[in-house]
Amino acid sequence: MADLEIKNLHAEIDGISILKGVNLEINKGEVHALMGPNGSGKSTLSSVIMGHPDYEVTEGDIVLDGESILEMDPEERAKAGLFLCFQYPVAVPGVSISNFLKKAMDARHPEGKAPAGPFLKEMRENMAFLEMEPAFANRGLNEGFSGGEKKRMEILQMMMFKPGMVIMDETDSGLDIDALQIVAKGVNKMRGADMGLLVITHYERILTHIAPDRLHILMDGRVVMSGGPELVTKLEEKGYDWVREETAATA
Amino acid sequence: MPTLALPPATEPALLPGFNENVLETARSGEPALLQAKRTAAFEAYTQIQNPEAFHEEYRRLDPKKFKFGSFTRLDIPREAIAYNARPVDEHYDVVISVTPDGIAIEDRADVTGGKVTVQTLQQAALDHTSRIEQHLGTAIRSEEPRKFFELNGAFWNVGFHIHVAKNANLPKGILLRYHNDREGTALLPRLLVTAETGAEFALAEQFTSPDGVSTLCISCREFHLAPNANVKLVSLQDWGNVGIHIGEDWARVQRDAKVDLFSMTLGGVVSKMTVGCNVCEPNASAYLGGLFFADRKQHFDQKTLQFHSAPDTYSNMLYKGAVKDKGYSVYQGIIRALKDCIGVDAYQTNNNLVLDPGSRADSIPSLVIDADELACSHGATMGNLDPEQLYYLRSRGISEPEARRMLVLGFFEEVIERVPFEVMRDRLHEVIEEKLNPFARD
């Protein structure tokens, strides 16, 4: 059994069906990429996995480490080791980064309180690794951040929380090459036997920085094609029309 | 034209408990200057109509809720009583402590006597007669007669004068602490602050009483800032659960001077707070910061008045409020720029969090502009916590109640972060957290 199993997942928002039977299996130690044209359901999939309250799962299951997470609140999913790198992280004015990270670390600590000393040390080290100024920790969470700063903030959280399963929702969108390299640096540092990763993207570009083991193509709410890294090159050359023709032929 | 003033009375209008006899008690044994000031204020008080629910200013807070007639004016002894130090006092140079038993002025850092004066008004009327004569009761503008400003002027039962001389400053600041534990009594504190040219200092004020003890407070604070002075005040109204509070703050701000008035309303059952500034010479500026959080049927009413009576003057106002558990809050404010006051910059913002459907917040900002060529803006927002912010925090493992607490504190932080004194900021965080934790109170 895979560490993350998405089984025949159907989901809708406001009565509109978006996911129509998604199947995916990801193990720790693996990097999977998920690509697909606009409107194929990529971002919906990440929201449904994390437990966004606006989406309703109508059929299927999501199983993390052998346990269904469908009935779990977002905070329980997070504590079970799931982490979503948001495409558009929301600004939370008045809540400083250090306060936010401390509360999130407290929530993960068995005694409900992460010791302040080691926490601060780890935060500073990770911030330095991601080339963030120490004073940044006093700023309001995502308040007035540039696109690059927001994504760095997401990676910083991932490095602090050390999740077992990470979903990156179009983390590369709106990033310049320097910011993308820093993001990739953080991800590649975390990559290893203890973490599975699903990179949802619109562009092949990020996959040259974070090389995937598998690629899946999502169309109209279903995974219609899966393959090895060679599929990235093929997709780049031939485009989604080719995928449509291929899947129509096999259907 | 919107105004918050009560109309003039055709015959003397007295509120129960505040009449000639009480005035005589207040006047007795006082320096002649104060007696004259009290009599003048009493006259003005009787010439303004008693507040009624049909007056614009009281449409959202029925004056019956003040329960006039149920409170007796405290007779606070003028003799000094022993000072009881508290741990927070170390953050201040001077601590003034008031209880029904008397007052204590503790100069912890030996700052008074020279350039800094901290005295009772009675003593100041003897030592600094002309200064008190010139400033006491003169901070309001005649366009806005204020019933409770005058009532306090006639009947105040504890008064202080704080004065800082030219270019002097206070390293830490001054704390005024009021505590009333006498059932059915009225405290009427008066504060007169004068800052000479270039003076710079900060004040903190705190009101407390035990839960279950009915008290009334009618407070009045006046600030007179000479050119280039810089004065900050943070006032925390933290009365016990049945306290009633009426407050009037007025600042007159001269050229290049700046006043910051922070009014924090968290305690009591009924509160009506009015803060007015008159930026009256070019480049004078005022910041009015407000925080209110009404829960468990508390009813809080906030009024602000930003008067621009000279060209090139600035004022900025940010009031943030939250309501829950049948709390009700009202914000109403006016920016007023007089004729020929060009180059005015004035802002008025009121944001409200309505945390449950049984609670209510009203917001009525307004502008009265007789001048051209100015930049004014006003705005109000109303709503519950942002579900996307809530989801984001929860997706990081933070529980829903904790995420809600963080968001409410974050909402208020825009005001709190500007408040002088770290101890006051800490205390504000504490009180807000208590209100958010259903098990911390009751």
Rounded average pLDDT over B196-201 = 98
Asked, for residue A93, whether it belongs to a domain, the answer is no
ipTM confidence: 0.97
Asked if B276 contacts B317 with a C-beta cutoff of 8 angstroms, the reply is no
| Interval B245-281: pLDDT, tens | 999 999 999 999 999 999 999 999 999 999 999 999 9
In SS3 terms, B300-350 reads as EEEEEEEEECCCCCEEEEEEEEEECCCCEEEEEEEEEECCCCCCEEEEEEE
pTM for this entry: 0.93
Asked, for residue A124, whether it belongs to a domain, the answer is no
**pLDDT-derived band at B442, boundaries 50, 70, 90:** very low
**Over 50: is that where the pLDDT of B190 sits?**
yes
Among A48-57, B38-47, B61-70, B74-83, which is the least confidently predicted range? B74-83
Q: What domain range is A25 assigned to?
A: 4-88+164-250
Q: Is B387 on the interface with A (CB under 8 A)?
A: yes
Asked, for residue A201, whether it belongs to a domain, the answer is yes
DSSP type of residue B50: P
Task: Tell me the C-alpha to C-alpha distance, in Å, between residue B296 and each of A19, B155, B406.
Answer: 45, 32, 20
Tokens of A1: 């059994």
DSSP type of residue B112: B
Mean of the per-residue pLDDT values for chain A? Answer: 94
Residues of A in contact with B398 (CB under 8 A): 75, 103-104, 107
Task: Tell me the C-alpha to C-alpha distance, in Å, between residue B171 and each of B106, B200, B415, B421.
Answer: 16, 9, 23, 11
Asked, for residue A145, whether it belongs to a domain, the answer is no
| Interval B89-126: pLDDT, tens | 999 999 999 999 999 999 999 999 899 999 999 999 99
Interchain CB distance below 8 Å, A100 and B392? no
List the CATH number of the domain containing A192: 3.40.50.300
Integer-rounded Cα Rg, in Å, for chain A is 18
Rounded average pLDDT over B61-84 = 93
**pLDDT-derived band at B228, boundaries 50, 70, 90:** very high
> What is the C-alpha separation between B419 and B421, in angstroms, rounded?
7
Interchain CB distance below 8 Å, B410 and A140? yes
Mean of the per-residue pLDDT values for chain B? Answer: 94
> What is the C-alpha separation between B171 and B115, in angstroms, rounded?
13
Q: Is B410 on the interface with A (CB under 8 A)?
A: yes
| Interval B6-34: pLDDT, tens | 999 999 999 999 999 999 999 999 999 99
Across the interface, of A75, A104, A157, the residue whose CB is closest to B400 is: A75
Across the interface, of A73, A99, A104, the residue whose CB is closest to B396 is: A104
| Interval B40-58: pLDDT, tens | 999 999 999 999 999 989 9
Rounded average pLDDT over A116-135 = 96
Nearest to A79 by CA among A52, A57, A55, A106: A106
Asked if A65 contacts A164 with a C-beta cutoff of 8 angstroms, the reply is yes
Q: Which is it for the CA torsion B1, B2, B3, B9, positive or negative?
A: positive
**Over 90: is that where the pLDDT of B308 sits?**
yes
> What is the C-alpha separation between B206 and A35, in angstroms, rounded?
60
Percent of chain B with pLDDT over 70: 98
| Interval A175-184: pLDDT, tens | 888 889 999 9
Asked, for residue A17, whether it belongs to a domain, the answer is yes
**pLDDT-derived band at B2, boundaries 50, 70, 90:** low
Asked if B305 contacts B285 with a C-beta cutoff of 8 angstroms, the reply is no
b/e per residue, B355-378, with b = 16+ CB within 10 A? beeebbbbbbbebebebeebebeb
Into how many domains does chain A fold?
A: 1
**Over 90: is that where the pLDDT of B73 sits?**
yes
Q: Is A80 on the interface with B (CB under 8 A)?
A: no
Q: Is B395 on the interface with A (CB under 8 A)?
A: yes
Q: Interior CA angle at A220 toward A36 and A38, to 5°?
A: 40
Closest-CA residue of chain A to B406? A95
Interchain CB distance below 8 Å, B413 and A94? yes
pLDDT value of position B438: 64
